[in-house]
Structure 1
Amino acid sequence: MKYGQMTALVLVMTAGLAQAGGAGMPMQQGLLAVNGAQIHYVSEGTGTPILLLHGYPLSGELFSRNRDALAAAGYRVITIDHRGYGNSVAPASDPGSLKTYAMDALAVMDRLNVPKAIIGGMSMGGPITFEMYRMAPERFLGMILIDTLANPAGIVEQHIWKGMAQKASTYGPQALAPELLKDMLTGDTRLHRMADATFLTGIVNQASVAGDVAGAVVLATRPDSIPTLKTITVPTLIIEGVEDTVYPPEFSMKMQQNIAGSTLVLIPGAAHAAIYEKAGAANTAILDWARANGLR
């Protein structure tokens, strides 16, 4: 059903995609030296580029269930690990900031000879995407916003992220998974698809302490991007898990109202990590939106 440009996705497909490169899909990966850091990337497929930016405290493998399907549909899907996360390495002098994350992503596009791309961000990847748009709007063919928001952090949220930083510093990155998994996946998924929780836990554990602290500071101090929404002129897709308790659907609805011509897809049975938990539904939403907007 539709309400303006907002689409409620009723049929949710359970993803069964491989987490490695699909058969016949060209894949490359490695480390790129950019801005004093070593940034790990994966590029799969050929065609219109889609750059996907992960949230806190994850890695590009969050999109492991999306790369194959999007690449098979004729897109070049690029994922990166922000500095301090996954297989990327940050210098001690700059463990990460909103500006640095955005500059890293733009530099990776340069190194991979990608002048323009559909750029999407999940959770913390949303503020990074907004920062990239403020820096270089000409690099965007389209924008995808996944379980994220444009609002600055309120007082309560600021203290939550400060607590995450303190917990990572005191007990290590592995201490964050129990705090986060209850919000990333629905209770049904945690009970009946335990491999999903194990996979995301492994990603969380891979982050560095410095990365965890830097990302928490970025989330606690992110700027107000609501004014930026009205400046976005590229086709924009907003994907939201109906059961997201971190940034609930109301925030996505607010973004949809403020980005002219944008489309909102609500995914039932999905929490904060909807892009992974209900990857099939998310992939369908991306492909339908891209085709409708001539992004091929």
Structure 2
Amino acid sequence: MKTRITLALLAALSTGAAQAGGTDSGRTEGLLDVNGARIHYVSQGAGTPMLLLHGYPLSGELFARNRNALAAAGYRVITIDHRGYGQSTAPATAPGSLETYASDALTVMDRLNVPKAIIGGMSMGGPITFEMWRRAPERFLGMILIDTIANPAGIVEQHVWKGMAQKASTFGPQSLAPELLKDMLTGMTRMNRPADGAFLSNIVKQASVEADVAGATVLATRPDSVLTLKTITVPTLILEGVEDTVYPPEFSMKIMQNVAGSQLVLIPGAAHAAIFEKADAANRAIINWARAHNLR
């Protein structure tokens, strides 16, 4: 099966914009005791399960604009806050690691009686998704990779994440918001939709210092997952903001080239948080891809 690249032209997504509405019907949320942590989850909808994993240093609320549309299209959308982020908490002795995040997500699936799901990860959620695949490929119906990367961190990037950890430790989690916001959203969005920036900033501020340090360490020390890409056998969608400066489109193109039959959708006018910034385009891309592969 050939790989495909799609440009998600916003002008052609009027139906997607309509689907971004809807209600919170079928929504449940709560806290689960998981591997010594308390993990907050939201489950919305009653169809094919779709587990979405947020990036650093955010929470499941990154997907606040995706739940309604995807649930209305026939999916049970499950989001979690990784330990120490959002409403989740973690013991001081286990603030988080790549292996722990993956184990937490798989355990949440068990606790919610979800044997298989479409599993997607944004940014740091990508390496977590790869770790879940290495551990339990039988749990995947499909895979969604959102503004993420399979390569290990180079020397410069390692120091960026170490700097984030040091800043959070010195000045608190709220100090990371201005550092990250310039990469999460395009300049146009930051100027014209300040509420978007405030929303993401508030999420960043909810993390604990320990979680900020743990997540930064995960990103700085993540393993090389390029070889893992070649083992992926489920339908795979890659979503990428054209203006992403954290993990630019070149990295998503490399993922596509290494995952047989995968599809890359480029989203114009979106940066690193494309799933939030251009939610209508992302929702339409996910729904079209899932239906094309009969994942419903």
Is the TM value for this pair above 0.5? Answer: yes
Q: Which residue of 1 aligns with 2:266?
A: 266
Query: Partners in 2 of 1:4 and 1:95 — Cα distance?
Result: 38
Query: Partners in 2 of 1:69 and 1:22 — Cα distance?
Result: 7
Letter aligned with residue 256 of structure 1: M
TM-score by length of 1: 0.96
Query: Partners in 2 of 1:72 and 1:217 — Cα distance?
Result: 37
Give the conservation status (yes or no) of the 8 Å contact 2:3–2:257. no
Query: Partners in 1 of 2:290 and 2:3 — Cα distance?
Result: 18
Query: Partners in 1 of 2:256 and 2:98 — Cα distance?
Result: 23
- 1:209–1:17 distance in 2 versus 1, CA, 3 Å: farther
Give the conservation status (yes or no) of the 8 Å contact 2:169–2:209. yes
Letter aligned with residue 279 of structure 2: A
| SS in structure 2 of the partner of residue 85 of structure 1 | coil
* Count of aligned positions: 293
How far did 1:267 drift? 0.2
Q: Which runs of 4+ in 1 moved over 2 A?
A: 11-19, 21-24
- 1:217–1:76 distance in 2 versus 1, CA, 3 Å: same
Query: Partners in 1 of 2:39 and 2:277 — Cα distance?
Result: 25
The reply to whether residue 104 of structure 1 matches residue 108 of structure 2 is: no
Give the conservation status (yes or no) of the 8 Å contact 1:40–1:80. yes
Q: Which residue of 1 aligns with 2:117?
A: 117
Query: Partners in 2 of 1:118 and 1:23 — Cα distance?
Result: 22
Q: Which residue of 2 aligns with 1:39?
A: 39
Give the conservation status (yes or no) of the 8 Å contact 1:38–1:90. yes
Query: Partners in 1 of 2:215 and 2:75 — Cα distance?
Result: 29
- 1:205–1:10 distance in 2 versus 1, CA, 3 Å: same
Q: Which residue of 1 aligns with 2:254?
A: 254
Give the conservation status (yes or no) of the 8 Å contact 1:17–1:65. no
Letter aligned with residue 5 of structure 1: R
Structure 1 unaligned blocks of 5 or more? none
Q: Which residue of 1 aligns with 2:91?
A: 91
State how 1:70-89 maps to structure 2 within 5 Å: 70-89=70-89
Query: Partners in 1 of 2:4 and 2:240 — Cα distance?
Result: 14
Query: Partners in 1 of 2:193 and 2:81 — Cα distance?
Result: 25
How far did 1:9 drift? 1.3
Name the % identity.
77
Letter aligned with residue 140 of structure 1: F
Letter aligned with residue 120 of structure 1: G
Query: Partners in 2 of 1:221 and 1:166 — Cα distance?
Result: 16
- 1:266–1:18 distance in 2 versus 1, CA, 3 Å: closer
How far did 1:6 drift? 1.0
How far did 1:18 drift? 11
The reply to whether residue 172 of structure 1 matches residue 172 of structure 2 is: yes
| SS in structure 2 of the partner of residue 153 of structure 1 | coil
Give the conservation status (yes or no) of the 8 Å contact 1:230–1:260. yes
Query: Partners in 2 of 1:31 and 1:110 — Cα distance?
Result: 14
How far did 1:23 drift? 2.7
TM-score by length of 2: 0.96
Give the conservation status (yes or no) of the 8 Å contact 2:24–2:44. no
The reply to whether residue 188 of structure 1 matches residue 188 of structure 2 is: yes
Give the conservation status (yes or no) of the 8 Å contact 1:25–1:72. no
Structure 2 unaligned blocks of 5 or more? none
Query: Partners in 1 of 2:224 and 2:208 — Cα distance?
Result: 27
How far did 1:40 drift? 0.1
- 1:4–1:184 distance in 2 versus 1, CA, 3 Å: same
